[in-house]
Amino acid sequence: MTYGAPDMPMSLPAATEAAVTREDVLRARDRWKVRESRSRGRWLRLLWLLAGPGVLVMLGENDGPSMISYATTGATYGIGFFVPFILLTFVLAFIVQEMTVRLGAVTQRGHAELIFQRFGPFWGYFAMADLVFGNILTLITEFIAIQAGGLYFGVPSWLSVTMGGILVFASLTLRRYWTWERAVMALTAFNLLFVPAALFAHPSGAALAHALVSWGPLPGGVTAGFVTLILSNIGATVTPWMIFFQQSAVVDKGLTKADIAEGRWDTALGTILAAIAAIATVAATAPLFAHHVDVSKLNDGADFATALRPLLGTTGATLFALGIIEAGLVAAMTISTSSAYAFCETFHERHSLNLSFSQGRWFYGVTIFSCLFAGGIVLIPGTPLVALTLTVNVIATLLMAPALVFLLLLINDREIMGDAANGWWSNLAGGATVGAISLVGVFYGVITAIPGLLGK
Amino acid sequence: MRNDPSPVCALEPGQLAAMRAQALPRRKLTQPALIFLGLLRLYVLVAVPIVCYAFVHALMTPQ
């Protein structure tokens, strides 16, 4: 049997000599179910078994800062140009994430270890460091979201941040990829709380349809603020941690080349659900635009929920605040795990959610430490949280370009990808997407770092 | 039965932890890829100071 490159060092005799670990046994149990479902032609069950990484990554990226970005968009422009635009950004995200499914399933390596092994230590350490640094800062913003959502309900900051941390740690105690994945997937369902919240805003179906068809209206025309929102919405949909997380999760789950089609469906399902939640957030906050509420005074989820209460009612605002807490919590779980995968892949430590605590002390250690650090920063009195959030956006967008370049180089590496490498059309779509996202990311980073570059 | 090897035959050889721990060989880079990576190094040299500037600027900005 071959997968990936036939000349790669993956000989069966060497494998059979090696010790079988707990991680192998747990993954093999999951694979038995997949094999059985495939042989019986039970496609829905097969999809259920193989779904996970795509749904988690897409709904995980609907995180605290992203939902605030969508809320700001709805409150600034209402239902119009940004509805189809947000849909387009999710199409771009799907194109990028689909490549990570193929990379993981074919090479059985995470993104960080592939960069390290194929391009050498300099790029390996750089990719890991830029991801972990960006992830820790992003993690801080997730705990800010949890704290802000809690404040709306009158929960003190220390309690909501502590509860968020405890839930992340509790998810790790499962020590089983499958169980962890299903638990976090159940949590991601709460991302759809933005849909009923939007219904309380009574959005016009005709306005939504008109926006989708005409890409308008665009009140105020093209301004510096409009450009910033365009870029921030792209940054809210495609980020470096998604690439690293989905590829590592695909490997940890045990997807193989035969499962790539189901991996694509999983990613498509996650894309559709996340796009629905994002557009629902725009629709939920559109009444703020209609009532000319000053958006510049709304900094976090609690501010938005409070401003929405007179317009959506208590239930609508409560759903919105709960959605913000969920967004921060799920992202805290997935982003901290993505840091742990990348760190351990680069430093050749064992990395899997199927490991026991003693086997995976570095893996679990990095996850726990990054959450403790991020949660601790949020609780330090006087910490410039708004400044940190701003910096996170700059770092994430500036560091997106290298991540995407390596993604393209790896997916075209026929030595490891074999016939699953990008074809001409895939390269055209992937290359255009990567080029466009990299350019706007750099542009966004520069105009955020140097305010006033575009005027007012 | 924690380490019972029997169900492991459901895995492809490359999925075993021991096999995944083996490093893939270093890629032989073509001229375009080398140019690409050279440009990326330049980009990193420019981007890192911007990131540092943004961070310091944000910290100095009054809340």
Alpha carbon distance, N-terminus to C-terminus of chain A? 61
Instruction: Tell me what pLDDT residue A455 has.
Output: 59
Whether the bond into A217 is cis, omega within 30 of 0 = yes
List all residues 6 or more positions away from A226 whose beta carbon is below 8 Å from its beta carbon.
A77, A218, A220
Round to whole Å and give the CA distance between A242 and A264.
Answer: 15
Give this prediction's pTM.
0.91
Question: Per the domain annotation, does A393 fall within a domain?
Answer: yes
Question: Per the domain annotation, does B12 fall within a domain?
Answer: yes
Question: Per the domain annotation, does B20 fall within a domain?
Answer: yes
Contact residues, B window 2-61, toward A, CB-based 8 Å cutoff? 2-5, 7-27, 29, 33, 36-37, 40, 43-44, 47, 50-51, 53-55, 57-59, 61
C-beta atoms of B24 and A118 within 8 A: yes
Instruction: Tell me what pLDDT residue A258 has.
Output: 94
**For residue A12, is pLDDT > 50?**
no
List all residues 6 or more positions away from A416 whose beta carbon is below 8 Å from its beta carbon.
A4, A5, A8, A106, A107, A114, A118, A410, B24
Q: Domain containing A76: what range?
A: 42-449
Question: Per the domain annotation, does A116 fall within a domain?
Answer: yes
Nearest CA in chain A to B47: A398
Question: Per the domain annotation, does B36 fall within a domain?
Answer: yes
Could you read off the pLDDT of B3-35 as tens digits, one per residue? Answer: 555 678 888 888 898 898 888 999 888 888 888
Question: Per the domain annotation, does A9 fall within a domain?
Answer: no
What's the total number of domains in chain A? 1
Round to whole Å and give the CA distance between A322 and A455.
Answer: 37
Question: Per the domain annotation, does A75 fall within a domain?
Answer: yes
Instruction: Tell me what pLDDT residue A357 has.
Output: 92
Q: What length does chain A have? A: 456
Instruction: Tell me what pLDDT residue A429 has.
Output: 86
**For residue A3, is pLDDT > 50?**
no
Nearest CA in chain A to B5: A20
List all residues 6 or more positions away from A13 whose beta carbon is below 8 Å from its beta carbon.
none
Round to whole Å and give the CA distance between A135 and A144.
Answer: 14
Round to whole Å and give the CA distance between A373 and B24.
Answer: 34
| Residue A162 belongs to domain with CATH number | 1.20.1740.10
Which chain A residues are closer than 8 Å to B42 by Cβ? none
Average pLDDT, chain A: 88
Instruction: Tell me what pLDDT residue A4 has.
Output: 42
Could you read off the pLDDT of A281-326 as tens digits, one per residue? Answer: 999 999 999 998 888 888 788 899 999 999 999 999 999 999 999 9
What's the total number of domains in chain B? 1
Could you read off the pLDDT of A393-439 as tens digits, one per residue? Answer: 667 777 778 888 899 999 999 999 999 999 888 889 888 887 887 77
Question: Per the domain annotation, does A275 fall within a domain?
Answer: yes
Question: Per the domain annotation, does B1 fall within a domain?
Answer: no
Question: Per the domain annotation, does A157 fall within a domain?
Answer: yes
List all residues 6 or more positions away from A413 whose beta carbon is below 8 Å from its beta carbon.
A118, A421, B27
Could you read off the pLDDT of A164-176 as tens digits, one per residue? Answer: 999 999 999 988 9
Query: Residue type for A5, please?
Result: A
Round to whole Å and give the CA distance between A233 and A70.
Answer: 7
Question: Per the domain annotation, does A8 fall within a domain?
Answer: no
Report the interhelical angle of A260-290 vs A301-346 (nearest 10°).
Answer: 150
Q: Domain containing B28: what range?
A: 6-60
A207 Cα to chain B: minimum distance (Å)? 38
ipTM of the complex: 0.84
Structure tokens at B41: 């190094």
When pLDDT is averaged across residues A182-202 and rounded to a whole number, the result is: 95
When pLDDT is averaged across residues A127-146 and rounded to a whole number, the result is: 89
DSSP per residue over A427-452, as a string? HHHHHHHHHHHHHHHHHHHHHHHSTT
